[in-house]
A and B are shown apart, each in its own frame.
Chain A
C-alpha cells in the first residue's frame, strides 16, 4: 500500500487541457460565417439563373469571387467540425472513426474543388 492520499495521486493528472479547442473553432467559424453567408446568399443568388457568359463574367469580378471562396473555405471547415460532433453523438466504435474520416475527406475535397473552380473562373 502506498502512503498517498487520493488527492496526491490525482494531482498533475488533471484535465487534458485541450478540450476547448473544438468549441472555440466552431465559435470562430460561426462568427465569420455570420458575415460571409448573407454576402454569399446575395452574390451567388444574383448569379444563379444567369447564362454561361453572365455567370463567368460575374465571378471574374473580385468581390463575388472572394466572397464565394471565403464562404467555401470557412463553410466546409465549419461543416467538418459540426458533423464530427453529430457522428460522435450518434455513431460509436470503428464506424464512428470511419465516418469522421470520410466526412473530413469529403469536406476538404469539396473545399478544394470549389476553390479550384472559383480560381479558374476569376482568372
Chain B
C-alpha cells in the first residue's frame, strides 16, 4: 500500500452533497450537545468548589451562575442534557439492531427532539 497516492485524491461526495435529514441532524446534535455540556459541567463544579470554600467566594460564583449569562448556560445545558439522554436511549435501542427501519428511525428522531423540549419545559416548571 506504500505506493498509493494518499495526498491528493478526490473524496467521494458526502456532507456537502446530501440534503440534511432528520436522522443526520439529530445524530450530529447528539455529539454537539454531549461535548458542549462540558461548559455547564465545569460551571457546576466551580459552583460546588465555591460553596465548599466559603460564603464570599460562593456569592461571587453563585452570582455568575444565576446571572442572565448563567441562566442561559444552565437552561441550554438542561435542554442539552435531556436531548443527549433521549438520543442516548435511542442509541441503546439501536445497539440491539432494533428501530433501524427508516420510518421507525424518523419517529425516534422526532421523539428525541419533541421529548427533549417537553422535558426541559417540565423541569423548568417543577424547579
Contact = CB atoms under 8 A, between A and B. Distances in A.
Contacts of B74: 48
26 contacts: A27-B92, A30-B88, A30-B91, A30-B92, A34-B89, A41-B123, A42-B127, A48-B47, A48-B66, A48-B74, A48-B127, A49-B66, A52-B59, A56-B51, A68-B48, A79-B38, A82-B34, A83-B35, A86-B35, A110-B42, A113-B45, A113-B49, A117-B49, A118-B48, A118-B52, A121-B52
Interface string B27-49: 00001001101100110110111
Contact of A116 (B31, B52, B92, B126): B52
Interface of B: 31, 34-35, 37-38, 41-42, 44-45, 47-49, 51-52, 55, 58-59, 62, 65-66, 74, 78, 81, 85, 88-89, 91-92, 95, 123, 126-127
Nearest to A29: B88
A117 B31 CA distance: 29
Q: How large is the interface on A (under 10, 10 to 19, 20 to 34, 35 or more residues)?
A: 20 to 34
B125 to A, nearest CB: 11
Contacts of A56: 51
Contact of B51 (A34, A42, A59): A59
Contacts of B34: 79, 82
A20 B55 CA distance: 47
A79 to B, nearest CB: 6
Interface in A3-48: 27, 30-31, 33-34, 37-38, 41-42, 44-46, 48
A99 interface: no
Q: Pick from B45, B66, B78, B81 the residue with the most CB of A within 10 Å.
A: B45
Interface of A: 27, 30-31, 33-34, 37-38, 41-42, 44-46, 48-49, 52, 55-56, 59, 68, 72, 75-76, 79, 82-83, 86, 110, 113-114, 116-118, 120-121
Contact of B45 (A49, A86, A114): A114
Given A41-B123, A52-B55, A82-B35, A117 B88 contact: no
Given A37-B85, A48-B74, A52-B58, A31 B92 contact: yes
A117 B62 CA distance: 15
B81 A110 contact: no
Nearest to A103: B38
Nearest to B81: A37
